[in-house]
Amino acid sequence: MRFLVDECVGTTVSEFLKSTNHIVISVFDELRGSTDDELLFKSNTENYILITSDKDFGEMVFKNQKPHNGIILIRCKPNNFKQKILVLTKLLQNYSAKLENNFVVVTNENVRIITK
């Protein structure tokens, strides 16, 4: 899969995804300082699923009707790279076919998929 990993998610998560043979753009490494609008546009036009912890993307997609190729909003506790990798691993194992073009909220206990 193709992922654009927001700065707030972290480089360790980006490296983990790369190590599991995904195509990954790390915002921290490659697009530092980009606005949310720029990230959403890039992920949509270049067919990346955006992985973020920033709730502002929900408003952009639902209130402002911005197009997207898929967004994964991580809301886990503790909010550290180990927990993020754990919830992403479970998400990819169980829901990978449902990530593209959907808004997905993943927590320690739940996965909520909101279709376009």
Q: pLDDT tens across 69-105, in order?
A: 999 999 999 999 999 999 999 999 999 999 999 999 9
Return the pLDDT at 47: 98
Q: Which of 52, 47, 55 is nearest to 22 (CA)?
A: 47
Return the pLDDT at 18: 97
pLDDT tens-place string over residues 25-70:
999 999 999 999 999 999 999 999 999 999 999 999 999 999 999 9
- Asked if residue 13 lies in contact with residue 4, where contact means CB atoms within 8 angstroms, the answer is no
- Fill in the amino acid letter for 86: L
> Which domains, and CATH codes, for the chain?
2-115 (3.40.50)
* Burial of 99 per CB tally in 10 Å (0-12, 13-18, 19+): buried
Angstrom distance (rounded) from CA 8 to CA 32: 11
Whether the predicted pLDDT of 9 surpasses 90: yes
Return the pLDDT at 65: 95
Whether the predicted pLDDT of 109 surpasses 80: yes
Dihedral sign for Cα 77, 78, 79, 85, please: negative
Angstrom distance (rounded) from CA 9 to CA 28: 9
- Fill in the amino acid letter for 102: N
Return the pLDDT at 7: 95
Return the pLDDT at 116: 73
Instruction: Name every residue whose Cβ is closer than 8 Å to that of residue 43 and which is 6 or more positions away in sequence.
Output: 4, 49, 50, 68, 69, 70, 71
In this prediction the pTM is 0.96
